[in-house]
C-alpha cells in the first residue's frame, strides 16, 4: 500500500509540473495566446491610459465684479479745540452743537496785560523809527558814520520784532475755528482759568465724510483715485456715492490688504459720522473682454501661469495672462479662446499630450456655490 501511495503522489506531481510548461501549444503567454504581441490591447497588452476629467467651456465676460466691505464713517476733518495760552476765559462764543464758519471766534482769554505791553512796544517802535529817519538823513549829508546808521537800523528792527511777538501772544488768547464744521459739547465756562492745552470743544467737518476700508491683495490695483464707490447705511437704509480720495502706498504685511480712503458728500446730513456703512466697489476689468476660469484649473511653472485644454481627446498646455482673482475663479486676459474646453480636474497626473475623456462639462465657475 505504501508503494502504491508513493507512485500516485509522484504521478500527480509530474502532471502538475507538465501543466506549467509555457512551450506547450496554446499555453498562456505562448505566441498567439492571450496577451501576446498583436493580441488584444496592442503591444504588451497595455491599453493607452485615458484620464477622466471635468471640463469648463471658456466664455468671455465683459464688465466687473463687486467687492463689499464694512467701513466706519468719519468726519473729513476733526480737531480738539484747546487753549494755546494760559489765562482767565473772558468770553465764550461757542455753543453746544452749533455750526460755525472758518475763522469764527469761539473763545477769548484775558489779554489786558499783553495789550498794555503792546502799546509800550509800539511806542518804542515809533521812537526807533524817528531816530532811524534822522540818522539816515544825517548819513546822507556825511553828518554821521555808517556805524551810527547801522545801530539805528538794528534798534528799529528790534522794536518791530517786539511788536510782532506781543501780537502773536495776543493771537494765542483767541480760539478760532480752523475750518467750517459742527461743534460738539463745550467743556468750559466763562470765568474758568485755562492753561495751555485745556480742551474747549471738538469741531468736526461733517458736510463731507470719509471712510476707510481694506481691499484684498487680489484687488489691490483695481481702484484708482477718482473711482466711484457706493456706500449704504443699512440700519437707516441710506445710500450715498463716494469717490476714492487716496490709496495706501503699500499692502499691510499682516493682512495683505490695501487701505482705501473714500470721500463722501454729506451736505444734507443724511449720514452720521461714527456709523458703519457697507462699501460696494465695482471692479471693472477694463474695456477688453476677459474669460473667467475655475481657480483650480490654473497652474504655474517657470514660464508663468497656464491651463490645460482638451483638443481632439488630448491635453494641451496654454500659457495665459491673468487678471482679477477670486477664491473660485481667475480672469484670463489672453492665452485662451472662447469655446476652449479648459480641464479643471485631474491636474496632478496631467501632462502635455495625455489622453483625456471629458466626463462632465460645466458652463460656470461657481463650483463652490452649487
Task: Please report, in tens digits, the pLDDT of each residue of the chain (370 residues total).
Answer: 444 444 444 454 444 444 444 333 433 433 444 443 444 444 454 556 888 999 999 888 765 567 888 999 999 999 999 999 999 999 999 999 999 999 999 999 999 999 999 999 999 999 999 999 999 999 999 989 999 999 999 999 999 999 999 999 999 999 999 999 999 999 999 999 999 999 999 999 999 999 999 988 877 888 889 999 999 998 889 999 999 999 999 988 888 889 999 999 999 999 999 999 999 887 654 445 778 899 899 998 888 899 999 999 999 999 998 877 767 888 888 899 999 999 999 898 899 999 999 998 887 665 433 3
Contacts of 167 (CB under 8 A, 6+ apart): 118
Q: What angle do CA 169, 174, 176 make, to 5 degrees?
A: 130
CA terminus-to-terminus distance, the chain: 79
In angstroms and rounded to an integer, the radius of gyration of the C-alpha atoms of the chain is 44
Residue 223 grid coordinates: 481702484
Pair 106, 202: CB distance under 8 Å: no
Enumerate the H helices of the chain as residue ranges: 2-19, 112-140, 146-171
Instruction: Compute the Cα dihedral for 223, 227, 233, 237 and give only its sign.
Output: negative
The Cα 306–Cα 344 span in angstroms is 12
Instruction: Decide: pTM greater than 0.75.
Output: no
Q: Which residues pair with 79 in a beta bridge?
A: 203
Q: Strands 356-362 and 51-57, how do they pair?
A: parallel
Amino acid at each position: 500500500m505504501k508503494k502504491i501511495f508513493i507512485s500516485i503522489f509522484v504521478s500527480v506531481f509530474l502532471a502538475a509540473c507538465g501543466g506549467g510548461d509555457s512551450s506547450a501549444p496554446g499555453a498562456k503567454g505562448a505566441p498567439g495566446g492571450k496577451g501576446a504581441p498583436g493580441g488584444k490591447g496592442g503591444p504588451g497588452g497595455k491599453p493607452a491610459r485615458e484620464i477622466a476629467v471635468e471640463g469648463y467651456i471658456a466664455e468671455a465676460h465683459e464688465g466687473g465684479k463687486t467687492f463689499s466691505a464694512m467701513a466706519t464713517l468719519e468726519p473729513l476733518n476733526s480737531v480738539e479745540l484747546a487753549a494755546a495760552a494760559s489765562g482767565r476765559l473772558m468770553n465764550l462764543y461757542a455753543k453746544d452743537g452749533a455750526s460755525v464758519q472758518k475763522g469764527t471766534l469761539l473763545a477769548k482769554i484775558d489779554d489786558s496785560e499783553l495789550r498794555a505791553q503792546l502799546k509800550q512796544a509800539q511806542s518804542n517802535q515809533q521812537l526807533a523809527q524817528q531816530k532811524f529817519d534822522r540818522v539816515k538823513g544825517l548819513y546822507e549829508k556825511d553828518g554821521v558814520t555808517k556805524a551810527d546808521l547801522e545801530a539805528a537800523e538794528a534798534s528799529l528792527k528790534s522794536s518791530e520784532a517786539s511788536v510782532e511777538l506781543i501780537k502773536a501772544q495776543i493771537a494765542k488768547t483767541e480760539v478760532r475755528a480752523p475750518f467750517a464744521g459742527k461743534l460738539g459739547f463745550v467743556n468750559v465756562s466763562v470765568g474758568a482759568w485755562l492753561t495751555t492745552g485745556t480742551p474747549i470743544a471738538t469741531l468736526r467737518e461733517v458736510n463731507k465724510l470719509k471712510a476707510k476700508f481694506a481691499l484684498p491683495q487680489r484687488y489691490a490695483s483695481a481702484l484708482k483715485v477718482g473711482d466711484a464707490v457706493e456706500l449704504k447705511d443699512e440700519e437707516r437704509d441710506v445710500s450715498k456715492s463716494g469717490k476714492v480720495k487716496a490709496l495706501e502706498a503699500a499692502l499691510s504685511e499682516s493682512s495683505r490688504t490695501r487701505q482705501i480712503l473714500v470721500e463722501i458728500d454729506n451736505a444734507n446730513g443724511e449720514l452720521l459720522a461714527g456709523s458703519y456703512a457697507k462699501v460696494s466697489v465695482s471692479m471693472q476689468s477694463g474695456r477688453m473682454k476677459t474669460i473667467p476660469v475655475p481657480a483650480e484649473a490654473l497652474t504655474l511653472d517657470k514660464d508663468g501661469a497656464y491651463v490645460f485644454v482638451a483638443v481632439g481627446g488630448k491635453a494641451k498646455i496654454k500659457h495665459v495672462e491673468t487678471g482679477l482673482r477670486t477664491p473660485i475663479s481667475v480672469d484670463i486676459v489672453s492665452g485662451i479662446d472662447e469655446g476652449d474646453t479648459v480641464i479643471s480636474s485631474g491636474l496632478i497626473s496631467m501632462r502635455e499630450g495625455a489622453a483625456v475623456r471629458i466626463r462632465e462639462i460645466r458652463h460656470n465657475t461657481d463650483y463652490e456655490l452649487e
